[in-house]
Structure 1
Amino acid sequence: MSDSDHGRRTIRDVAKAAGVSISTASNALNGTGRTNAETREKVKRIADELGFRPNALARGLLTKRSHAIGMLTNDTYGRLTLPMAAGVSEILVDHGVSLFLCATNNDPRLAKLHLDALLDRQVDGIIFTATRIDLEPPPELLKLRIPVIYAFAQGPADSVSFHPDDAQGARIAVQHLQALGRSRILHITGEQNYLAARLRADAYRELVGSSGQVMFGEWSEEWGHSAIDEVYSQSGPKPDAIFCGSDEIARGVIDALRDRGISIPDDVAVVGFDNWEVVSKQTRPPLTTIDMELKELGHRAGLAILGLSRGEKLEPGVERLPCGLVVRGSA
């Protein structure tokens, strides 16, 4: 019994079982050299039967690639990043590439530590993602010699970036409410210093005109609740529909309306933004909302980083991916 019977199988075991030389077995498994299709398939089948796993470091030395991608994020809770990471992984796994996800918690020191670790691992590229599309990345990213893709984050002018189309998402939300016959549509949203909030507010104003009102505040249920208190403490016509800048704001809005005995959607229809299902499905009634299609955004970022890591040229700029409307019970 050989030493390899007691532990990890080696390329020598595969070559012996296939009746080929070690170099032929290596070429067949790595897709290098001149090996006919029949031999390649035979070697791969025997490697699978033996449970042989190629040494990633040795493979990287042969191909000059680590077959790994880093994903750096400031999203501590993963609400935005995890759906994107799932989309990236679905693309990478089909190409034998691993994804390393690192959260910085908005700590520059931790961001540098993670980045150094990814570079030590010799990743083939990095995807930077964040909790807002206008967040500037760690300055160290701008100096790297490996490809960097920006997803739901701001990159330099010569980079490739992917964002949800916030303006288009706002338009389909407002158009849905207008199609329901609602004419007094109020927009309650988050902080005005967020680019996404301004893009959505501008698109809302384009559709509702001078009759529209935008209320900026925090990205929280508490703000949604207090905004309704403010609206109903004033005289004048009340809204028959409310477009909210996030699902959390929408849940606060709905709770505040119900506290006042206002029926949803009969008296006031409500649409959120995010399709954060932990919130949107548990709201009563379940929340009609805009889905930013984060998994698809991850797919696109994954394809882009794969292409760049293989030396392909991509057109720089921001690509905005369309959002979708998820209709539930609130509108």
Structure 2
Amino acid sequence: MNKMEKGRAPGETTQRTERKGLTIHDVAREAGVSIGTVSKALNGAGSLKAETRERVVAIARKMGFRPNDLAQSLHRGQSFTVGLISNDSFGRFTMPILEGLERELAAERIAVFMSNATDDPERERQHIDQLMGKRVDGLVFTARRADRRPSLTTNIGDLPRLFVFSQNDDPDSFCLLPDDEGGARLAAEHLISLGCKRVAHVTGPEHFEAVRLRLEGYHEALAAAGLSPDPAHVLKGVWSERWGREAVDILFADGATAPDGIVCGNDQIARGVLEALRDRDIPVPGSVCVVGFDNWDVMTEAARPRLTSIDMNLYDLGREAGRRIIRMISGEKFKGVLRLPCTLVVRESCGGTPTERKGNV
């Protein structure tokens, strides 16, 4: 022991503790306690006096000591990590889900490993193998659309897994989805409540499940209000602003019965609709009210006027996914499909003030 170390009280750090490769032995020596006491303090286990536990933890933190996570996971039988696999390269839908997921898991000190499969089954298989090699406690799968996807190509045994903004053809799987049908119903109901009698629906390709569900919600709202939908007012195309502009040309062609309200299948279509109406000098919301779907601020806030839209509440979907995967890790079982409510966000395209929210479905 050198002169600087003589008479040093337990807990008083030295330059020696700043070196790399610290071990639990170093922490025990620095704190003046046994290795077992350090282990109990850092793992929150055993019966220790509160002041002893707090002092050991503080010393370990000051020294920069980090327990070996893999060794701890083997000891506990849990790694406190979850894998998230997505094919949403752009991140438009995945990032809000990830934020909500991390919010819930952080409270349980569970970290998330995120991987992008890009619609490649082989790449997805590799990601699954790597994540299982890290002994993740569960897997969450998400996508850029909520349509049904093929079964997993890798056998993951009884490892907890769920699908959020995605579906799986395994009848025993558990899927969390937005209520597309209810969201479109809410949009149409809002237009009807504003006095619209001729409500059109401009949407995307019918092979998307969301398109079919939103069309059902639109029809339900009209039927409940005693309005007969005009077949000429239901237009299916592609997910683009250009299609929105083309749809306006069809709806407002000479001799056509022009709508006074338009429910759009997404915000891109709605943005195109607003542009085309402005080009025709048709006032919004004076003559026509418009509602989008997705509540994507890149579209809603840049639109002129700012766009009323249906929010799928992806952040809330992520939080629910976090709550469910925690319970699944603890041994609970879930299967089937759970659809969470959407919300109407009213802005100037329906005469409202920005970010005014109305009801859930």
TM-score w.r.t. structure 1 length?
0.94
3-state DSSP of counterpart to 1:66:
coil
SS in 1 for 2:349: coil
Q: CA deviation at 1:308?
A: 1.2
Q: Give CA deviations for 1:90-132 in whole Å, capped at 9, x if unaligned.
A: 1112221111111111122221222222122121111001122
- Residues 1-49 of structure 1: CA distance to partner in whole angstroms, max 9, x if unpaired? 6754322543223222332211221122112344344432332222223
The answer as to 2:121 corresponding to 1:108 is yes
- Cα distance in 1 for residues equivalent to 2:113 and 2:267: 29
The corresponding residue for 2:141 is 128
Note if contact 1:68-1:124 (Cα within 8 Å) is conserved in structure 2. yes
Query: 271, 284, 290: which one pairs with 2:291?
Result: 271
Match of 2:197 in 1: 183
Give the corresponding residue for 1:165: 179
The gaps in structure 2 that reach 5 residues or longer are: 1-13, 351-361
Partner residue, 1:223: 243
The Cα of 1:315 is off from its aligned counterpart by 3.4
Whether 2:78 is the aligned partner of 1:65: answer yes
**Counterpart selection for 1:282 from 294, 302, 308:** 302
Alignment of 1:48 onto 2:48: no
- Structure 2 residue aligned with 1:144, among 141, 146, 157? 157
- Whether the 8 Å CA contact 1:137–1:153 is kept in 2: the answer is no
Displacement of 1:54 in angstroms is 1.8
Residue 11 (structure 1) aligns with: 24
Aligned residue number for residue 340 of structure 2 = 321
Using the aligned pairs only, state the percent identity. 44
What's 1:77 paired with? 90
How does 1:14-29 map onto structure 2 within 5 Å?
Answer: 14-29=27-42
* Equivalent residue, structure 2, for 1:204: 218
Query: Partner letter of residue 329 of structure 2?
Result: S
Is the 2:307–2:348 contact (alpha carbons within 8 Å) kept by the matching residues of 1? yes
* Alpha-carbon distance in structure 2 between the residues aligned to 1:135 and 1:253: 29
The alpha-carbon deviation at position 142 of structure 1 amounts to 6.1
Q: Secondary structure of 2:39's partner? A: helix
CA offsets 1:267-314 (integer angstroms, 9 cap, x no match): 111000001111111111111001111001000001111121222x13
2:100 maps to 87
- Contact preservation (8 Å) 2:17, 2:63: no
Larger radius of gyration: 2
Match of 2:267 in 1: 247
State how far apart, in whole Å, the 2-side matches of 1:24 and 1:199 are.
59
Out of 207-216 and 82-91, give the one that drifted further. Answer: 207-216
Q: Which amino acid aligns with 1:28?
A: A
* Aligned residue pair count: 330
- In 2, the alpha carbon distance for the partners of 1:6 and 1:52 equals 10
CA contact under 8 A between 1:280 and 1:289: conserved in structure 2?
yes
Whether the aligned pair in 1 keeps the contact of 2:251 and 2:257 (CA below 8 Å) is no
Which secondary structure state, in structure 2, belongs to the residue aligned with residue 111 of structure 1? Answer: helix
Given that 1:187 and 1:214 are in contact with CA atoms closer than 8 Å, whether structure 2 keeps it comes out as yes
Q: Structure 2: how far apart are the matches of 1:194 and 1:11? A: 56
- Contact 1:162/1:321 (CA < 8 Å) preserved in 2? yes
Gaps of 5+ in 1: none
